[in-house]
């Protein structure tokens, strides 16, 4: 167990990101450049020979010695992490303000109390009675 007061997300190794293997990185980029070459050639572009050449180079390096792609793989992984740290807060903020905020405002305008948190000073108890009463207490003894 973690030390006293130490949160599990702050332990060493929690935020470590394991990137893809150099071989899979090479195959993915081979496919990307091959698809770009096909698309460019299909639309009568002039860059398709260069793109096909880059795809061939990636394929050759991947098949012969994938470890040569390690610096590019690490760079690509770092770029992905940087992009994620910028895009994630933006997307989640947009989701919050475009979806959850209007729902919350509408619920408040309509007087909804989904979690039954509204105070009832005259109530004897906030306990919710179930009918039928629910599972036997012994069924909760060994849950795992």
Structure tokens at 48: 């398709």
pLDDT band at residue 14 using 50, 70 and 90 as cut-offs: low
**For residue 89, pLDDT beyond 70:** yes
Q: Measure the CA–CA gap between 113 and 120, rounded to whole angstroms.
A: 12
Residue with tokens 């849950």: 143
Q: Are the CB atoms for 26 and 59 separated by under 8 Å?
A: yes
Average confidence (pLDDT) over 4-23? 76
Average pLDDT over residues 66-81: 95
Q: Measure the CA–CA gap between 8 and 29, rounded to whole angstroms.
A: 36
List Cα–Cα distances, 89 to 6, 38, 65, 84, 101, in angstroms.
25, 35, 38, 9, 16
pTM for this entry: 0.65
E strand map for the chain? none
Structure tokens at 23: 């071989």
pLDDT digits (tens, 9 = 90+) for 38-68: 999 999 999 999 999 999 999 999 999 999 9
């Amino acid at each position: 167990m973690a030390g006293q007061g130490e949160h599990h997300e702050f332990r060493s190794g929690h935020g470590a990101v394991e990137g893809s293997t150099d071989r899979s990185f090479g195959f993915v980029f081979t496919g990307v450049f091959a698809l770009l070459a096909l698309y460019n050639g299909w639309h009568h572009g002039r860059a398709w020979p260069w793109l096909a050449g880059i795809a061939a180079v990636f394929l050759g390096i991947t098949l012969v010695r994938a470890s040569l792609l390690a610096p590019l793989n690490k760079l690509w992984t770092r770029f992905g992490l940087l992009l994620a740290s910028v895009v994630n807060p933006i997307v989640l903020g947009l989701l919050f303000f475009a979806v959850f905020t209007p729902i919350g405002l509408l619920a408040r305008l309509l007087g909804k109390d989904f979690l039954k948190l509204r105070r009832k000073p005259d109530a004897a108890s906030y306990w919710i009675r179930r009918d039928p009463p629910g599972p036997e207490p012994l069924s909760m003894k060994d849950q795992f």
